[in-house]
Structures are given as structure tokens and as C-alpha cells.
Structure 1
Amino acid sequence: MTQGFDKDLTSIQEARRLIENCYSAQEKFLDFSQGQVDRICKAMADAAYQAAERLGCMATEETTFGIPQHKTLKNQLASRGVWESIKAVKTVGVIREDKTSGVVEIGWPMGVVAALSPSTNPTSTLIHNTLIAVKARNGIVNAPHPSSWRCCLEATRLMVDAGEAAGMPSGLVSCMSHISLPGTQELMRHEKTAVILATGGSDMVRAAHSMGKPAYGVGPGNVPCYVDRSADVKSAASLIVSSKAFDNSVICATEQAVVADRPIAAGLRAEMERLGACFVNPTQAAALSRVLFFPNGAINPRSVGQTPQTLASMADIRIPEATRIIVAPLSRVGKDEPLSAEKLTTVLGWYEVDGWQAGCDRCIELIRFGGRGHSLVIHAADEGVIMEFGLQKPVFRLLVNTMGTLGSVGITTGLMPALTLGSGGIGGAISGDNITTTHLLNVKRLAYPIKSPPAQAMVGAAMVQPVANDLDPAELKAIVRAVIEELVRHGEKT
């Protein structure tokens, strides 16, 4: 801590210093070529990829959330996976030219990015945000969650060392080490901050949107998983259990409740139980609810990213040692049923419905209870049902016959690889996309004329009258003289 400063003042001063340094470095970065930018980004991506396992272990140890091997996989996605997806994107100079429309597009950075990352996916989010920002010639100052600043600082150090060795200006990429709410607020509201990337809880996202800056806010997702009677039940069961168990369910697009079509519900439950899903009774579910949530409905952070065994011990209930996830049968959605909300841990809700229309209605209930605009998973073979869900659900990622966790971030699907997932206008966000470098790139446009201006738009046009073939020469001279006088009056040379 800085000598003589309170923690909040130290944090505010650090935010100001990092922003000023970043701003100066980004002005120098404006002169870099596409080749120079790409060499820097590749060097940073390679460094993060090589350290993916170590950073994953650090993140788990520091936060106590999740599973190191799964955090390693996310770090690998955020580094090499993201770089592979953006490396061919033009961001410098002329990026597109359309001879037909006469428009030439020129890439231009936004400036300094203030990026907030969550404790649930700390290093992977930071790596992703840093790469997409620098690829567009922005600078970035990262603000980690207070419980994950050490692993984030190390991830930043590795990327900075690699980037600067490749020619990156000093100060272009940095990370706060003195974390406080006033410091993070100063980072976001600073006059030289151009845009905010905010990935985390609802309160933090709302704060980001209140700063008077452009902001990509990415909040919670209460993701339903509908399993239709046409689904491959064994495949669905395997994907659901694996996805919910992945990194102990800290990815915001993890399945939060299964909505099972009644004809296949018993078979799906049996197969999930065979794979390690423990279905609890109402008394046990109530005990888990008290552990996962405070009376006001807020998530208990001690429950986040924990194994089923840890949760069972906290709730004083008994489950098999081999349990991979806990499943709670539910009948309602809303505040009076806390387990129907987003659960960033290894507990899954369970509903049974009769037919896809009823399944559709139940899924919409769940989405409206804390997951607007985010994601939905559907397991089905009936393309008509799949398309109906696509057309009717108020979400921007509909993942078909895959894992919610890995499908949403682009590991098992063709979606843009990303750790920052937009929820669109209905979810209080500016975009419903997987956020990538093009979201941090402004575009200037040179527009050449492709049509002549209408005659009536030209100066003096109102004076010109149609001339008949038999016009008297004297009258013609008078008209010409009047036109000349009008042009001279408007400063034109004759």
C-alpha cells in the first residue's frame, strides 16, 4: 500500500496512473501497422497459452472456485482459441473497400478500455479481453475481482512481458493490484476511459452502464435446458451432467434447470443418475436452498463453484461420494423457489412438462427470472421443435444438442470464441453477441460519389427555366446575364 494513503485512495490513485499511462501508450500504438499489432497479439496469446495450466491452478487456489483442469481449458480457449478466431481480422488502415458503393472503410480504435473481470472466470476473461482490445489497437486496464487479483496480475504480467518483447508500448496493457469499489469506479468514469467491458454480477454491470461511457455489460444467465421427446436421451444425459459439473458450474451459460418432456423424463433421470446425478428430496432441497442463497435472494459466495460433496456438508445432508451434480425436482419458478434462480454451483433444477409447448412456456418463465437475453439449451431431433424454440425464446444463444458451458463460449459450436457473452437489449446489454475485437473497433468511412446531385440542389438552379427552341436571342441574352449575375453574387468565378 502507498505510504500514508488509505486503501480506497491508493486504489483510486492507481486507477488514475494506469489510465494515464495507457492513454499515452495507446497514442503511440496508433502508428503501428497491422503486422506489428498482430505480432504483439500473437506473442501475448502464446505466453498465456503456455501458462494456461499454472494460471488455472492459481485461479482455483486463490478463489476456491471450480476445477483447475477446467480452468486450464478455459485459459487455452481465451488465448489460442480467441487468437485463432481474430488473427485474420483487419483492424488497421483500410479494412474493406466496396467499389460498387464507393465506400472505403478504415479501422480506428476506441481508445482506452476499462475491463472488469469476475472471480468465477478470472484469468480466462482477462486474457480474452486483453487480446480483443489490443488487436483493435486499443489500450486496456484490467480491474479484477478483489478475490482474484493475484492470478489476474500474474496473467497480465506474462502477457505484458511477451507483448513488450514484441514491441508493444509500455503501459498499453496493465492490471490493478489495489482493488476497491472507489478505485474501480474511478477507472470506469475517468475522462480518458473510452469504453467499458464489464463481465460479472448484475450490480457491477448496472454500475458500468451508469458511468456515462459506452459499455458492454454482461450479466447473469438463468439457462434452461429443454429435453424433448425426440431427443437422444443417453446423449442428452451425458452432455447435461458433464456441462453442469464443468468447473463446478461457474460459467454463466451453464444449465440451471432441466425441463424434461414427460415421455422421456423417467429415462433421462435414470441415465443422469447412472452418470452421477443425485436427485434430492424436498427436505434436502430446502436445506440446499438455505446454503446457496441468503434470505434476500442473493447468492451465498461460499457456495459458488463448489463440489456436490462440499455443498452437502454445508447443508448437513448425505449424498453418494461419487455424486457429480445435485438435482432438485421443482414445481415453481420465482422468488418463493430460490433454486429456480441462477446457481453458480453444482446444483441443477428439474421440471417435468407435457409437450414442447409447455416446455417452451416453462423455459420462458426461467429466462424471465434472471436470464433475459442470455442462453438456452435444447436437446431434440425434431427440427420443427428446435426452430420454434429459436423463434420464440428471448435469448441470443440457443445451443442445440451440446453442452451449455462449452457451446456458449465456442468450444463445441461455431460461435465466436469468447468469455464475455452479451445478453442484448432485453438483458440490459448493448449487444447479444459473443464479444470480440470487432466490438472494440470503430470504423471510419470514405464515401465517393456514385450519383450526380439533383439539378435542383445546385446553386442557381431555381433561376434556370426551360429554354424553348424558338426563344428570342435578346431574351436568351437576358436569361444568361441573370444567371451570371446570380453566380457572381454567390462568389462563383465566371
Structure 2
Amino acid sequence: MPAATAFACASTPIAEVARVMQKARAAQRTFANVDQARADEAVRALAWSIYKPEHARELAELAVEDTGLGNVADKIRKKQRKTFGTLRDLLREKSVGIIEEDRAKGIVKYAKPMGVIGAVTPSTNPGATPVNKAMMALKGRNAIVIAPSPLGYRTTERAVELMRSELARIGLPADLVQILPAPVTKDSTEALMKAVDLIVVTGSQDNVRRAYSSGTPAIGVGAGNVPVIIDESANLSDAATKICASKTFDNATSCSSENAVVILDRIYDRAIAALTDAGGYLCTAEQKAAVRDTLWQNGKLNRNIIARDAAILARTFGLPAQAEGARFFMVEETGVGREHPFSGEKLALVLTVYRVSDFAAAKDKVRAILDYQGKGHSCGIHTSDMDRARELAEDLDVVRVLVNFAHTFGNGGGFDSGLGFTLSMGCGSWQKNSISENLSYRHFLNITHLVTVIPEDKPSERDLFGPHWDKVGL
């Protein structure tokens, strides 16, 4: 083969992925049989690589500089909070050897690594998500190769560099964590999807669909478009404070950020006043039109203004001077669907407000919003009536219903939330996802079942068929 041809072949996406995979498999073989303490040591090292204050700041500044999304202060907080919480969760669990034993059923479960994990990560979290997934992967004694969003490549590359350095410091192979060489393309990402043992996708639904069609076991997550109800029993000040904190965090880049608030008529004016006191600005009908025409261009979100600071948005939207001091902007809406873009996910400091007659109407509105965008993801309610929260959980097609939470800080795990810390939230079959829970280390394990004989557990025919016989006969 001529040298030029050999060079061209060697530089194809498949060849690039093959080189990365060769190193990943070699590293994973040396790591596959470590004990629990060593696996946890690796997880701690990865966590420290991003939690370390100077590293958290560096990656946050890089992310904002590269993507233009969010703000540095909140990205620092996100990196440290999510990493700390994930580390807490992981260190409390077993992922090596026997992880569960049910003596009554005679079953003992042994955890085994999957091998090499492929992780597709988004531009909204180019530092935090790769480290979060790497921690979960190495908890299960796997290696991981990350395919980042091209927009956030430089940030993810630096995060991987920091993780590799910390692994080397404790004597583990740096190649347990790798990044696809730049430029990351659809071809190289698809080649990775086919080469790994499990692919986990956080980001565009196009990538999720590609992962599921790759032939490799895949975990994808769905889009968010969180609607939250405020009912007449809610503590309005508390609800408004929490909604503001959640909506404004990292300039609304989170999929768990509130996109709509559905308020019962009886307390509507007071709730709007509370939201205004918390930092909201209620747009007039004319101002709403200006926001719509600026936030969407040719039917798509305007890439130049999503996830920007509130003051920038106020000027860009052409809002009056008093709006420049607001922390977020409210627009009143009645409709849901494609003709009503405010009913969808906005990735901006714009909160859609609906006024409804009663709780039944509120539930119907939330269902309509989720059916349009975000079905399966989550919703919330601010209330003192737990029966209403339980009704939402029973009747709505969502994985999570949060009660009296700042949604962003509870949905992906929180220190006052029993949900596991994660940056990837499954939405079930409602969004064609393979999981209906928060992504965790358990999704990165193979499980061997040791099965022993137990006393026979065989009911009689009458026990099982009796009700049917009694109703219709033999």
C-alpha cells in the first residue's frame, strides 16, 4: 500500500476510534479486578480533579468562553455541588464482588464491569457531565471514552486532562479516561458508539437516536420542559424564591429548569407579585411579542441569546430600563403547542406563566405542556396538600414529580432530595429512553446471579386460578 494511502487510512474516524479503544481496553483489563477500595480511590481522584477550587474555576471560565452558555459563578457551583453529591452517593455503595444477597430466594448478586463505556456529552455542561459519567463508569471498574459536543471540546479536553493526571498520581492508568481526538464528527461518534460496550448519551435527541440504532446497548436521556404548579395552599414567598433560584441558575441551561409556571386563579395576582419580588419582570403583551421575535429565529431558538445574562436579554429584547435589574422575565400564555413557542423549552431566563381556574385545569395544562415537549421528564408543584402531589404522580406520564422544590436543585439529586446525584435523567419510554430514573453507577454494571436451591414455592392451581374459575367457571 502506498504511504499516502496508508496515512489516509490511518486517519479515518474508524482508525482514530480503534486507536483510542485499544488503549481503553488495555487500561480496563488492568483495572477490572481491583478491589472496592481501589475502585473508590479512582472515583475520589476523578472527583478531586474537578472539585479542586482552581480547577472548578478554570473549567467554568473555559466553558463560558467556549460556548457562551451560562455564567462562571454558577458553573463553579454546579461542578462542585454535583461532584460532591455524586461522590457521596458512590462511596456509600458497593460495586465490587457481592453487592446484594437474598437468602429467602437463594440469590446472590455479583457486580462485574461492562468494559469500555462511550459517553456523548453536551455543550451545556462540557466539564461537569464528562466527570460525572467518568466517576460512575470507574465505580464499576470500566474505562470511558468521551465524545464531547464540538462547541465544548476545549473544556472537555481540559477536564479529561485533569482526570488523567489525578489517576496517574494514584498509580492507575490514565487511559481509563480518554477523549475522542478533534474534530469530533458524526462519523467518529458513530464509530465510537459501535466499538464500545455501552453508550450513554446526554445531549441532542439526534445523538440519542443514533445511539439506539448503533447496535450497542445504549442509555439516552430526554429533553426537559418543566412545568410547575402553584396552588392556593402554597407558601407563595417560598415558592417564588425557589423558582427564581432554580430558573436563574447558570442562566437556565439545565434541563430541569422551570419553563412554565401554572398558577391557580385564586392566588394568581399574589403569586405574580411574589415572583416579581423574587426578581421577575412581567412583560406586557407588546413586550412578549418582542421577546418571541428575538428568542426564536426561523422557528428555532436563537443561539446568540440563549443562556445569556438577564441584563443582556433585557437590552436585546428592547425592554425598558427597569427590566435590566430583573433576574428573569415572565410572559403570560394561554395556548400550548407549535403555534405557542413559549410553551416549549427555552434555555433562557424566560418563564411562561399560565392562569387556570382550578387544580383540575392546572393538571390538564401541565399534561398538555408535557405532551408537547418534555413528556416523561418531570414536573413540580408548590402546595401544602400532598393529595394533589400524589394525584400528579398517579396521573401524569413523568418520571419525577417534585414537591416544594427549587426544581433544578432537586431533580438531578440534592442534599435534601432522595434522588441520586446525576447530570443525566432518564425519561422512560415516554421519550424512548431505556431508563426511567436518574442515571447511576448501577447502569454501568453487569450482574452475575448465583442461584441456590430453596424450599419449593409452588402454590396450588386453586390458589392461582380460583378467582377466574369462580367468575366464569372451568
Cα displacement string for residues 327-374 of structure 1 (whole angstroms, at most 9, x for unaligned residues):
110110000011111011111111000111000000000111110110
Deviation at 1:160, TM superposition (A): 1.1
Q: What is the CA-CA distance between 1:23 and the residue it aligns to?
A: 1.6
Q: Identity percentage over the alignment?
A: 33
Aligned partner (choices 287, 291, 301) of residue 294 of structure 2:
291
Q: Distance in 2 between matches of 1:70 and 1:234?
A: 23
> C-alpha deviations, 1:394-431, integer Å up to 9, x for none?
11111111111111121241210111111111121111
Among residues 316, 320, 328, which one is paired with 1:325 in the alignment?
328
User: How far, CA to CA, are the matches of 2:75 and 2:316 in structure 1?
Assistant: 24
Return the match for 1:212 from 211, 215, 218.
Answer: 215
Contact persistence 1:149–1:177 (CA under 8 A): no
1:141 and 2:145 correspond: yes
Distance 1:350 1:9, change over 3 A: farther
SS in 2 for 1:287: helix
Q: Give the residue type in structure 1 aligned to 2:239.
A: A
Q: Secondary structure at the match of 1:326?
A: strand
Find the aligned partners of 1:310 and 1:15 in 2 and give their Cα distance: 41
Q: 2:201 pairs with 190, 198, 201, which one?
A: 198
> What secondary structure does 2:144 align onto?
strand
Q: Is this contact kept in 2: 1:119–1:145, CA < 8 A? A: yes
Please show how residues 292-371 of structure 1 align to structure 2 within 5 Å: 292-295=295-298, 297-318=299-320, 320-371=323-374
State yes or no: 1:77 paired with 2:73: no
Deviates more, 1:146-155 or 1:303-312: 303-312
Aligned residue for 1:60, secondary structure, equals helix
Does the CA contact (< 8 Å) of 2:381 and 2:403 recur in 1? Answer: yes
Q: CA deviation at 1:291?
A: 2.5
2:261 equivalent to 1:258: yes
How far apart are residue 81 of structure 1 and its match?
1.4
Are residue 221 (structure 1) and residue 224 (structure 2) matched?
Answer: yes
Distance in 1 (CA, whole Å) between partners of 2:401 and 2:253 is 19
Partner SS, residue 115 of structure 1: strand
- Which residue is 2:129 aligned to? 125
TM-aligned CA deviation for residue 199 of structure 1: 0.4
* CA gap 1:290/1:207 in 2 versus in 1, 3 angstroms: farther
1:385 corresponding residue in structure 2: 388
Q: Distance in 1 between matches of 2:285 and 2:207?
A: 33
Distance 1:53 1:134 in 2: 24
| Cα gap change, 1:400 to 1:23, in 2 (>3 Å) | same
Aligned-partner Cα distance in 1 for 2:201–2:305: 23
Pick closer, same or farther for the CA change 1:453–1:378 going to 2, 3 Å. closer
The match for 2:50 is 48
Q: Distance in 1 between matches of 2:430 and 2:399?
A: 10
1:457 alignment partner in structure 2: none
- TM-aligned CA distance change 1:13 to 1:322, over 3 Å: farther
2:297 counterpart SS class: coil
Query: Over aligned residue pairs, what C-alpha RMSD do you find?
Result: 2.1
Counterpart in 2 of 1:476?
none
CA 88–275 in structure 1, closer or farther in 2 if over 3 Å, else same: closer
Question: Alignment partner for residue 27 of structure 1, among 17, 26, 29?
Answer: 29
The question of whether the paired residues in 1 share the 8 Å contact of 2:315 and 2:324 is answered with no
Q: Matches of 1:158 and 1:203 in 2, distance apart?
A: 29
Paired position in structure 2 for 1:405: 408
Equivalent residue of 1:399, what SS? strand
Residue 237 of structure 1: which of 237, 240, 250 is its match? 240
Kept after mapping to 1: 8 A contact 2:279/2:327:
yes
How far off its partner does 1:451 sit? 4.3
Look up the SS of the partner of 1:388 in the other structure.
Answer: helix
Number of aligned residue pairs: give it.
Answer: 449
Is the alpha carbon distance of 1:24 and 1:184 closer, same or farther for their aligned partners in structure 2, counting shifts above 3 Å? same
Shift in Å at residue 12 of structure 1? Answer: 4.6
Aligned AA (2:33): D
Question: Quick one: distance in 2 between partners of 1:58 and 1:174?
Answer: 19
Q: Secondary structure at the match of 1:171?
A: helix
Residue number in structure 2 paired with 1:486:
none
Q: Which amino acid aligns with 1:442?
A: N
* Equivalent residue, structure 2, for 1:458: none
Q: TM-score, normalised by structure 1?
A: 0.87
| Runs of 4+ deviating beyond 6 Å | 3-6
Per the alignment, in what secondary structure is the counterpart of residue 215 of structure 2? coil
Q: Counterpart of 2:301 in 1: which secondary structure?
A: coil
Deviates more, 1:70-79 or 1:251-260: 70-79
CA distance in 1, matches of 2:33, 2:167: 16
1:171 to partner: Cα distance: 1.4
Cα gap change, 1:403 to 1:135, in 2 (>3 Å): same
Q: Is the 8 A contact 1:153 1:176 kept in 2?
A: no
Q: 1:431-479 deviations in whole A, cap 9, x for unaligned? A: 121101011111101111224799xxxxxxxxxxxxxxxxxxxxxxxxx
Q: Give matches, 1:95-134, under 5 Å.
A: 95-134=99-138
Contact 1:41 1:163 in 2 (8 A): no
In structure 2, runs of 5+ residues without a counterpart are 459-474
Q: Aligned partners of 2:427 and 2:17: how far apart in 1? A: 28
Question: TM-score, length-normalised on structure 2?
Answer: 0.90
Q: Which runs of 5+ in 1 are unaligned?
A: 455-494
AA aligned opposite 2:309: T
- Amino acid aligned to 1:241: C
Match of 1:182 in 2: 187
Provide closer, same or farther for how the CA distance between residues 83 and 289 of structure 1 changes in structure 2, counting only shifts above 3 A.
same
| Bigger Cα Rg | 1
1:39 maps to 2:41: yes
Quote how far apart the aligned CAs of 1:246 are: 0.8
> 8 Å contact 2:71–2:309 — kept in the other structure?
no
- Give yes or no for contact 2:262–2:353 (8 Å, CA) kept in 1: yes
- The amino acid that maps onto 1:211 is S
Q: Does the residue aligned with 1:107 lie in a helix, a strand or coil?
A: strand
Q: CA deviation at 1:317?
A: 3.8
| AA of the residue aligned to 1:222 | N
Is the deviation greater in 305-314 or in 171-180?
305-314
User: Which amino acid in the other structure matches residue 112 of structure 2?
Assistant: W
- CA apart distance, 1:225: 0.9
Partners of 1:9 and 1:311 in 2: CA distance: 43
Q: Distance in 2 between matches of 1:215 and 1:299?
A: 28
